[in-house]
Amino acid sequence: RCSTKLESMGFRVGQGLIERFTKDTARFKDELDIMKFICKDFWTTVFKKQIDNLRTNHQGIYVLQDNKFRLLTQMSAGKQYLEHAPKYLAFTCGLIRGGLSNLGIKSIVTAEVSSMPACKL
C-alpha cells in the first residue's frame, strides 16, 4: 500500500517536472528521442548524473540502468537489503511514468535490483 502511494506521488511530481523541463524544447521525433531525453536531461536534473545504460528491443521495451543509484548508495551492499531495495524505487518508478505520461507515452515502469547500488528500471 505504501509503495502504491509513493508511486502515485512520484507520478504527479514526474508530470510537473516534465512540463517544466520541456517547455522550451522542440518536439520529440519519436519514442527513442523521448527516452534519450529522460536518460540524459531529466535524470541529470533530478539525480545529478546521467543514466549509465539505455537498452531497447525496438518493440517498445526500454531498460534504464543506473550503476550507482543515489537512493541506494547509502544502504549496505549486503544481501539482506537486496529484497527490500525495490521498495525504495517506487517513487522513482512513478517519476518516470509520470514524465512519460505527460509526453504522450503510456507505460508500466518496474524496478529491479540485482546488486546494490545498481538498479534497472
Q: What is the pLDDT along the chain (121 residues), one digit of tens a residue?
A: 778 888 999 999 999 999 998 888 888 888 889 999 999 999 999 999 999 999 988 888 899 999 988 888 777 666 777 777 778 889 999 999 999 999 999 999 998 888 888 889 8
User: How does DSSP classify residue 71?
Assistant: T
CATH code for the domain of 88:
3.30.1380.20
Residue span of the structural domain in which 10 resides: 1-120
Residue 78 is predicted with a pLDDT of: 66
Residue 82 is predicted with a pLDDT of: 79
Residues 6 or more apart from 94 whose CB is under 8 A from it?
6, 7, 8, 9, 10, 11, 12, 13, 14, 109
Rounded CA separation 108/14 (Å): 14
Q: How many domains does the chain have?
A: 1
